[in-house]
Amino acid sequence: MSENPYESPKVDEVSVAPPQRARYRKLWWWLGCAAGVVLVIAILLPAVRTAPEAARRMACRNHLHQIGIALYKYEKEYGCLPPAYTVDADGRPLHSWRTLLLPYLGYEDLYRQIDLSKPWDHPDNRKALKTEVDVYHCPSVEDTAPGNTTYLAIVSDQSCLQPGKPRKLSEIEDSLQFTIVVVDVDPPNAVPWMSPRDASEDLVLGMLRSHTPQHSGVIQVLFVDGSVQYIGQNVHRKTWRALMTATGHDDKVIDRDGF
């Protein structure tokens, strides 16, 4: 197992107990199938921006699938999920999880251009910052600054991705199919893809009152199990709060048929 250069606490060599790991094998089979669909979408990508909304929404869905696959590739190599952002010696945010996933999304050359020891917006990282990463762009979003992304992780004291430190899959106490890791936020909340800024629970709940979702009244989210779902804005706030926690033991309040 490779040494994780982004971790805060030391991750043990055996990061997930064997019984726990067994249930993730099924995820890899499913993610492999999704990868084939992603490849087809990538081939057709140049036509997506002029396609109807249904096609743009499907392309967005597959971008989230690619991110899910990249998260599992990272986890397989390091034995943990990436931190929400890396930090310097004083605990100040440096780089986003989106930067850490670049090698697993086919952007190895771009990743090598980034100085991870300096902040994301340091002049030495300016060239990389100006590079558009297609997989981080929702095709339905047209009015954000170049290089901005609406794909934000949920970051809180109970979220899947933790500030400044990795998390092992075995530490996720809620069901993987009911734990959101990334959400496609509305355009006003977009951030530069290299920025260590993400979504709080309050930001997502605020979107339920927004009239600017890019996907006609639904919000697309990536769950830890690799699945991508549409969730309606009218879903109860209590359900949304339960979906956004990894250690809330609140699966009992969630009805997937309700979204």
pLDDT in tens, 191-223: 999 999 999 999 999 888 766 667 777 899 999
* Residue 106 token pair: 């086919």
b/e sequence 9-30, b meaning 16+ C-beta within 10 Å: eebeeebbeeeeeeebeebeee
- Read off the pLDDT band of 29 (50, 70, 90): low
pLDDT band of 140, cuts 50, 70, 90: confident
Instruction: Return the minimum-mean-pLDDT range out of 68-77, 143-152, 179-188.
Output: 143-152
CA–CA separation, 163 vs 160, rounded Å?
Answer: 10
Mean pLDDT, all residues of the chain = 83
How is the chain split into domains, by residue range? 18-258
CA distance 244 to 222: 11
Give me the pLDDT at residue 142, please.
Answer: 79
* 8-state DSSP, 151: E
Q: What is the pLDDT of residue 218?
A: 84
Q: Tell me how far apart the alpha carbons of residues 34 and 252 are, in angstroms, rounded to a whole number.
A: 28
Banded model confidence at residue 65, pLDDT cuts 50, 70, 90: very high
Token digits of residue 78: 């390091």
Classify the phi-psi angles of 227: left when phi > 0, otherwise alpha if psi is within -120 to 50, otherwise beta.
Answer: beta
In the predicted model, is pLDDT for residue 99 greater than 60? yes
Q: Across the chain, how many H-helices and E-strands are there?
A: 7, 8
The encoded tokens of residue 207 equal 């979107």
Distance CA 66, CA 60 (A): 10
Lowest mean pLDDT among 50-64, 106-120, 220-234: 50-64
Q: Which pLDDT value is given to residue 8?
A: 42
E strand spans, the chain: 85-87, 93-96, 148-149, 151-153, 180-184, 191-192, 218-223, 228-232
Output 7 or 126, whichever has higher pLDDT.
126
Statement: residue 123 has pLDDT above 80: yes
Position 114 pLDDT exceeds 90? yes
Q: What pLDDT does residue 215 have?
A: 75
- The pLDDT, as a whole number, for residue 17 is 37
Q: Looking at the predicted structure, is the pLDDT value of residue 178 above 60?
A: yes
pTM, rounded to two decimals: 0.79
Nearest to 184 by CA among 146, 236, 148: 148
Q: Residue 200 is encoded by which pair of tokens?
A: 């709080």
Q: How far apart are CA 160 and CA 125, in angstroms?
A: 27
Q: Residue 200 contacts by C-beta under 8 Å, 6 or more apart in sequence?
A: 154, 155, 156
